[in-house]
Chains A and B, each alone.
Chain A
Amino acid sequence: MEQKKYDVIILGGGPAGLTAGIYLARGKAKTLILDTATIGGQMILTYQIANYPGVEKISGYQLSAIMKKQATTFGCEIVSNIKINSLGLDSPVKKVTVNNKITYTAPAVIIATGGRSRMLNVPGEPEFKGRGISYCATCDGDFFQDKEIIVVGGGNSALEEAVALTKYAGKITIVHEFDHFQAFEHAVTEAKNNPKISFIMESHIVEFLGDESLKAVKIKNLKTGKINKMNTDGAFIFVGYEANTHQLKDTGLELNKWQEVVADENMNTNLKGVVVAGDSRAKRYRQVTTAVADGTIAALSVLEYLNS
């Protein structure tokens, strides 16, 4: 197994990880960012960012490309689309083995693994992804011109995207598990006032059915337990986000009940030399700006740790 030594390994190349990379590389720490997917994290899921101070309007893709360039210009190394085989965080030398061929070691690690869209995890969901099931209204909305579709979820994303999808679809049914919505009042009102949108409350999707594309869903009424089959051409799923921490479970790192990493205000976790930044941290607000702030604090905490 090949071994490579760094001063800091950052797990995750979203805005938190890239910001930490910029600060650490400028601080002359030998820094490596590892990402299991594309650099940019959830930023690249955003078509337009208009609340990042100093930049009037920019796509998430462009903003992440700039952050990536800044980090690499200062000397930060970045490896994306890797697979992590093992993680050792509880000893003074942290170890990350990737792609079954390289073990990276460092005295400090920053967890910046971010979050991801939650899936429903019901039968048929993986099979019909891209064949009727979508997680991106702006990407796939135009495939559903005049079609009947469902939107699953009751938060801001679900209701706002349902309204946006009325531009294409003929009829939209929002399926939600509770008897009320978590979304802001204005989003609920806008959806309720749209004649193309109807609602099925207190219900779960239990199965997706079809042949070469999605044709129907099975919906369970949570009050009566009754399961109904409903024909549909498409299903857009917006059931929230979860922390990307499944690989951190047995590392000794303290996670809360939502599997988010617990840290103090300087981003220090319960493990020495391990700090956290961004959406995987237990906190209330998750924005590009808060991720960038976390990344800055995490980097400064790590520099202090390395110098102590």
Chain B
Amino acid sequence: MVLPTNLKHVATIEEYNDILKNNENVMICCGRMGPMCVPVYDVMEELQEEYSHVEFRDMLFDNPHAQIIRSLPEARGFMGLPFTIYYKNGKVVAATSSIQNREQITEILDREFN
């Protein structure tokens, strides 16, 4: 169960753990193909080249394995798709709920991963 985007996906908890273990900087956007989610995937796709030190992934919100993201303490109180989580060395360093624009995303990437 993955999203029909051009991004690389996260399909299982095992894959999620591997990605966090093997990459220093990770951004995962967990959502559906809705109007608040698509713009975030679009920005991530565009940033992949410029931010080659960041691993960009998406995950289908309705995939049962996405429970790992839905139940993060940092996502407590989140009631808007997508849930976007930023990880440094496997630890959550930032999390946002609902649509974000390029400026808001790069502000977090520059702050946390540079």
A residues in contact (CB < 8 Å) with B: 37-40, 44-47, 59-61, 80-81, 83, 129-136, 138-140, 143-144, 211-214, 234
Which residue in B34, B43, B46, B102 is a CB contact (below 8 Å) of A139?
B34
**Size band of the B side of the interface?**
20 to 34
A136 to B79, CA, bound (A): 11
Q: Least Cβ distance of B27 to chain A in Å?
A: 15
| CB pair B80 A130 closer than 8 Å | yes
In the complex, B35 has a CB within 8 A of chain A: yes
Kindly state whether residue B52 has any CB partner on chain A within 8 Å. Answer: no
Task: Give 28 pairs: A residue, B residue, CB < 8 Å, sorted on A.
Answer: A37-B101, A38-B39, A38-B43, A44-B39, A60-B35, A80-B42, A81-B43, A81-B46, A129-B80, A129-B98, A130-B78, A130-B80, A131-B77, A131-B78, A131-B80, A132-B79, A134-B79, A136-B34, A139-B35, A139-B36, A139-B80, A140-B80, A140-B81, A140-B98, A212-B77, A213-B78, A214-B79, A234-B79
Contact of B81 among A132, A139, A214 (CB under 8 A): A139
Contacts of B33 in A (CB 8 A): 59, 61
In chain B between 26 and 84, which residues have their CB closer than 8 angstroms to a CB of chain A?
32-39, 42-43, 46, 76-81
Closest 6 CB pairs of A and B: A130-B98, A130-B97, A130-B80, A212-B77, A213-B77, A81-B102
Residues of B whose CB lies within 8 Å of any CB of A are 32-39, 42-43, 46, 76-81, 96-99, 101-103
Q: Are A139 and B32 in contact (CB under 8 A)?
A: yes
A134–B77 touching, CB < 8 Å: no
Contact present for A138 and B34 (CB under 8 Å): yes
Q: A140 vs B36: C-alpha distance in the bound complex, in angstroms?
A: 9
Quick one: which of B34, B79, B103 contacts A130, CB cutoff 8 A? B79
Given A129-B98, A130-B96, A140-B81: A80 and B35 within 8 A (CB)?
no
